[in-house]
Structure 1
């Protein structure tokens, strides 16, 4: 049982790191000498990088908000797991942890879908931060389902 709890905790920490990197990294969309993320758009020229803030369009603000919410709910899920690990009665399930983790999963999925549909149609490709967001989605969903099944034992 200790190995299962340790494995779930490590998986949760990996998901949290993936969400932090995908939210903060500047590579949601790359192409040529231009990179853009949720917060800025940078162009490389012979003098270095020139960055502007992200557009004020509603869709990018929705993606920003959803990624921050997914990060917060993943963190709250981790705190709830540690709290329930010590306070939950024997045989109890980690429902609060599971609900927070599944909500984090849904938020990151919605953010990635909105970004996929609404990003400008140009010759840029999706960057690694976008891919990390999509990797974090199924991992956090699986983690949430594991928390639902997991029972506390002595």
Structure 2
């Protein structure tokens, strides 16, 4: 049982790290002399590196909010898991923890879908989607799987 608990905590922390990195790193889109994320658009012109705040469009603010909510819900799920680990009765299920983690996965999926749909209007055709964007998509199934495992998991002695 201890190995199972360590495994689920490791999966949860891995998803949380991926969420945090994908939200903060400037590599959602990359090009030859440009990179952008949810917060800044950076470019290199004549050897000088310039960063501007991201577009103030509603869609990018929605993606920002959803990614932050996914991190918050995942952190809350981890805290609730440790609280339930010590207070839940024998045979009980980690429904609350699983619910928070499933919500975190749905938030990151929604943010990535909005970015996927809206970025062609914002990103130049010469740029490609970056590795932080891919990390967001990788974090989605990890968070969803850990949330489902929490819902199925029963506390044993």
**TM-score, normalised with respect to structure 2:** 0.96
Correspondence list, 1:4-15, <5 A: 4-15=4-15
C-alpha separation between the residues in 1 aligned to 2:12 and 2:49? 35
C-alpha separation between the residues in 2 aligned to 1:139 and 1:48? 39
1:55 partner SS: coil
Alpha-carbon distance, 1:48 to partner: 2.8
Correspondence list, 1:1-150, <5 A: 1-119=1-119, 120-121=122-123, 122-150=125-153
In the alignment of these two chains, the number of paired residues is: 154
| Structure 1 segments (4+ residues) deviating >2 Å | 45-48
C-alpha separation between the residues in 1 aligned to 2:48 and 2:90? 59
C-alpha separation between the residues in 2 aligned to 1:124 and 1:23? 19
2:42 partner SS: strand
1:44 partner SS: strand
Structure 2 gap ranges (5+) = none
C-alpha separation between the residues in 1 aligned to 2:27 and 2:48? 17
**TM-score, normalised with respect to structure 1:** 0.98
Q: Deviations over 1:100-128 (max 9, x none)?
A: 00000000000000000001252210101
Backbone CA RMSD of aligned residues? 0.8
C-alpha separation between the residues in 2 aligned to 1:81 and 1:44? 45
Structure 1 gap ranges (5+) = none
C-alpha separation between the residues in 1 aligned to 2:112 and 2:30? 16
C-alpha separation between the residues in 2 aligned to 1:21 and 1:42? 18
C-alpha separation between the residues in 1 aligned to 2:47 and 2:72? 38
